[in-house]
Chain A
């Protein structure tokens, strides 16, 4: 194995190694929760640095060549695993997600007597699955990554095993998750059967022939593609494949919910990029209408239902469905643009940028809920937030910031995320431009329920006997990081530009 190949796999090796180290340390030195958290967060920070050092990142940062490295290359010159700018961008996102989820979980799990080590290890394994998804160029590798991602997810959802709601949510998540994995696998088998390869590059070649009219689109292949699409739609919780989300989100321990609302979602979008944009690109005009309808229904339904929720976890669950819709607008902008046009890259760039921003602002919002629930017995009803602005000023300011950013009010990072998606959609034009208008109307509707939280925090008095909220150190650190990211990416121009550049180069790596 050459040096470059080793470097390409190093971040993944580090995360898996860290997960195993956590398991071993827990056996040797049981019940040392703080040690485990410190090692895991330290290890993830090291991983972040390693990813930056390996690259490839824009401006020639990183040891690896700009065009990326392919591993296990076959005779046609395409590999099974690739490390390009897209992989690096996604890896950074995933590791930040893992790090923040970890920081937010410590102070929540401890008072409930839930073990930290198992949580950490499971989370790290899940993230390694996400990283595999971000780098796979073979259907089997992608499926492997997908399962490695979701299986720990089921465990995490049911982590509070004595809690009925948690178990219920986990079972729903597990059943629908396995169901969708099976659908995906079946689609994969059909595609393999009708194209003769599991390699993404080879499938793209066959489909390019179909698109050019050289070969007919056989019924089996079409079915395979449809099943793959359905499987992925389940994973990103697009309407009408979203039914598992609210229960799974509400039942899971709050930090887990935070993770579930971003980790698997961004990972599934990584799968979409690797699968749809890479393999199915020749047929994109055919799946464009599907994406448009999916985006429109997903954001609209997600928002409409979120408006009526009184439980904040459920509200954030439905709103995360809406955000899926916004990200799909980016995909639609890509699919609707002429092949090779700048609009194509812009759609993907917007999707990636949105995903990254959404990750930490949504995690931050869940972290505020988790911090509030640190003392067991506090419900996630929105009424728990009454008077929070006075009871816990830091939490109030942070939550307000995340709510404004999720709404898309400038100058937060969330605003730029929405702006990029709209630029891309308008750029592509046609029905996709209509999606941009629909998206903005949705954002206005979303303002209602996001600002409602602010109303409770600042405009209603705390109930009598409300106890002060104490925030743990880990949570405080995580909140400061995610709030700082939300503000800095919005306010400091060089940072905004740098993140946009990273997303752009990552998108170009795919085209």
Chain B
């Protein structure tokens, strides 16, 4: 099949939008049709994203499948898309988790189904767009497109305290992103001032070789950093995350942890480092310290959480700390590890939220203290939950291990002390996850669960369909991380060549 010449990237971005428009015309009472149409759209999008794989050349430098069209010529704003290995991996992660999330919300979402599916598909448009945009203005637009559907998903279909959580989520994100807009415009303007024309002023490929003035670099990096750090979220900008996760519906949590947090990490690698390399070196020590704090703080706080979702949310803060640590030591293993960690965290944490969702569907509760003894009535569930728990704590052979290991390796080169600090968390991680698992799954069946009687069923076939692909991927990336590493080697090298690593100087 010859796919050259087809605008595949535009296709993968806007297929969900077409689905959303179709759903808008489906009568409200046809709920089954709405569900299947949404799932079908997400599966088609997933298929298109897979079509990108055969034609992708991992050995080539630069961007592939590039599409360019003028958008607002007066300011040199373009509709420009393209992808390299990093975006490819994250796009496929997004399309995978999207259809899984839509399938997972078949049961739980009962009110305003139509609006939910439309929001979700528009959310997918924004997420894929962020990973593919090569024009800063276009990137910003996709970045904001993500915001509104997520705001609605948490705010309409969320838990009791959803309005507080969703406003907090939006305001945190907006403060970061609006300052990023100023920085984008300032960067474009300084390009225009130097070249005398707006042509290419928002074009990432032009800007990354431009070499901005050091003061501008420092300030613009700060603005970008704030936007991405809030999204990741890095300590101390993480406080919106536990609230948002606790209130979001299961599908929202899966996407939030699985993809939205990755937007921040991706932003650092794609935009922050190549555009502002000098500032990146100035900011790196601070970011490394914050990452180490996040890694340990997230783990310690996760330990004492009474709520399953909150526990997983704080574990995300800890795991994403590895991502930022890996990125900012400017060293190949570290950055490859960071990207692996992003993908694996997306899969594993997404799966953990699905597992929590399974319990919640049956008990309408997530309090760890009320659980206990799930192993006997729901053995399959206990096994799957256990599998992802082990993957999350970084058991060798499963997905979570390789990324963290590579980050350790990179960090050790830079500062053995930092590596030692980070490695403490492996022990902490094992502690809070296994302790949680023990309280929920082992022992006597708790009185609360006994009260549910026959409602406490094992995983349904539909739930199994959502979880199985994630199990397969966790195993695959654990045994053969090369599947991803081969794709990202070249782009990571390019980024590092621009930023000039590894980081030297006094270790924090």
Q: Which residues of A contact B (CB under 8 A)?
A: 404, 408-411, 415, 419, 422-423, 426-427, 433, 436-437, 440-441, 443-444, 447-448, 451-452, 454-455, 458-459, 493, 496-497, 500-501, 504
Q: Which of A409, A411, A433, A493 contacts B147 (CB 8 A)?
A: A409
Do A493 and B71 form a contact, CB below 8 Å, given A447-B174, A451-B151, A459-B163? yes
List of A residues within 8 angstroms of B178 by Cβ: 408, 440-441, 443-444
B186 in contact with A426 (CB, 8 Å): yes
List of A residues within 8 angstroms of B182 by Cβ: 422, 426, 436-437, 440
B189 in contact with A459 (CB, 8 Å): no
A423 in contact with B144 (CB, 8 Å): no
CA distance A411 to B74 in the complex (A): 18
List of B residues within 8 angstroms of A451 by Cβ: 151, 167, 170
CA distance A448 to B189 in the complex (A): 30
Interchain residue pairs with CB less than 8 A apart (30): A408-B178, A409-B144, A410-B145, A411-B141, A422-B181, A422-B182, A423-B185, A426-B185, A427-B189, A433-B186, A436-B185, A440-B181, A441-B175, A443-B174, A443-B178, A447-B170, A448-B171, A454-B151, A454-B155, A455-B167, A458-B152, A458-B155, A458-B156, A459-B163, A459-B166, A493-B72, A496-B72, A497-B73, A500-B72, A504-B74
A455 in contact with B147 (CB, 8 Å): no
List of B residues within 8 angstroms of A501 by Cβ: 74
List of B residues within 8 angstroms of A404 by Cβ: 148
- Nearest CB in chain B to that of A493: its residue: B71
- Interface size class of chain B, counting residues whose CB lies under 8 Å from the partner chain: 20 to 34
A444 in contact with B156 (CB, 8 Å): no
CB distance from A352 to the nearest CB of B (A): 14
- Cβ of B140 < 8 Å from any Cβ of A? yes
List of B residues within 8 angstroms of A504 by Cβ: 74
List of A residues within 8 angstroms of B185 by Cβ: 419, 422-423, 426, 436
B167 in contact with A448 (CB, 8 Å): yes
List of A residues within 8 angstroms of B166 by Cβ: 455, 459
List of A residues within 8 angstroms of B310 by Cβ: none
CA distance A437 to B182 in the complex (A): 7
Interface residues of B in 127-155 (CB under 8 A from A): 137, 140-141, 144-145, 147-148, 151-152, 155
A437 in contact with B151 (CB, 8 Å): no
CB distance from B178 to the nearest CB of A (A): 4
CB distance from A409 to the nearest CB of B (A): 5
- Nearest CB in chain B to that of A418: its residue: B181
- Nearest CB in chain B to that of A458: its residue: B156
B170 in contact with A423 (CB, 8 Å): no
List of A residues within 8 angstroms of B140 by Cβ: 410
- Cβ of B50 < 8 Å from any Cβ of A? no
List of B residues within 8 angstroms of A436 by Cβ: 182, 185
Interface residues of B in 442-477 (CB under 8 A from A): none
List of A residues within 8 angstroms of B156 by Cβ: 458-459
CA distance A458 to B167 in the complex (A): 13
CB distance from A410 to the nearest CB of B (A): 4
CA distance A500 to B144 in the complex (A): 22
CA distance A455 to B162 in the complex (A): 10
CB distance from B438 to the nearest CB of A (A): 38
CB distance from A131 to the nearest CB of B (A): 28
- Cβ of B75 < 8 Å from any Cβ of A? yes
B155 in contact with A459 (CB, 8 Å): yes
Q: Label chain A's interface by main secondary structure.
A: helix
List of A residues within 8 angstroms of B48 by Cβ: none
Do A423 and B75 form a contact, CB below 8 Å, given A447-B170, A451-B151, A451-B170? yes
Q: Which of A410, A423, A447, A448 contacts B141 (CB 8 A)?
A: A410
- Nearest CB in chain B to that of A490: its residue: B141
CA distance A500 to B140 in the complex (A): 20
Q: Which of A408, A433, A455 contacts B155 (CB 8 A)?
A: A455
CA distance A423 to B137 in the complex (A): 12
Given A409-B144, A451-B151: 5 more A-B contacts, CB < 8 Å: A408-B178, A410-B145, A444-B178, A493-B71, A500-B72
B174 in contact with A500 (CB, 8 Å): no
Interface residues of B in 69-101 (CB under 8 A from A): 70-75
List of A residues within 8 angstroms of B174 by Cβ: 443-444, 447
A447 in contact with B171 (CB, 8 Å): yes
List of A residues within 8 angstroms of B181 by Cβ: 419, 422, 440
CA distance A455 to B179 in the complex (A): 25
B148 in contact with A437 (CB, 8 Å): no
List of A residues within 8 angstroms of B188 by Cβ: 423
CA distance A454 to B154 in the complex (A): 13
B162 in contact with A440 (CB, 8 Å): no
CA distance A31 to B211 in the complex (A): 70
- Nearest CB in chain B to that of A452: its residue: B167
CA distance A436 to B186 in the complex (A): 10
Do A409 and B72 form a contact, CB below 8 Å, given A427-B189, A437-B182? no
Interface centre among B75, B163, B178, B188 (most CB of A within 10 A): B178
Q: Which of A422, A427, A433, A497 contacts B74 (CB 8 A)?
A: A497
Task: Annotate B182-218 by CB proximity to A: 1 below 8 A, 0 otherwise.
Answer: 1001101100000000000000000000000000000
List of B residues within 8 angstroms of A409 by Cβ: 144, 147-148
CB distance from A309 to the nearest CB of B (A): 16
B147 in contact with A426 (CB, 8 Å): no
A444 in contact with B145 (CB, 8 Å): no
CB distance from A500 to the nearest CB of B (A): 6
CA distance A504 to B175 in the complex (A): 30
- Nearest CB in chain B to that of A404: its residue: B148
- Nearest CB in chain A to that of B154: its residue: A459
CA distance A409 to B141 in the complex (A): 8
List of A residues within 8 angstroms of B137 by Cβ: 419
CA distance A419 to B201 in the complex (A): 15
List of A residues within 8 angstroms of B145 by Cβ: 410-411
Interface residues of B in 239-278 (CB under 8 A from A): none
CA distance A161 to B3 in the complex (A): 70
CB distance from B349 to the nearest CB of A (A): 26
- Nearest CB in chain A to that of B143: its residue: A410
A423 in contact with B147 (CB, 8 Å): no
CB distance from A445 to the nearest CB of B (A): 8
B144 in contact with A437 (CB, 8 Å): no
CA distance A504 to B70 in the complex (A): 19
A444 in contact with B141 (CB, 8 Å): no
CA distance A436 to B145 in the complex (A): 22
CA distance A330 to B329 in the complex (A): 41
A410 in contact with B144 (CB, 8 Å): yes
CA distance A318 to B179 in the complex (A): 23
CA distance A444 to B186 in the complex (A): 19
CB distance from A127 to the nearest CB of B (A): 30
CB distance from B159 to the nearest CB of A (A): 12
- Nearest CB in chain B to that of A408: its residue: B178
A437 in contact with B71 (CB, 8 Å): no
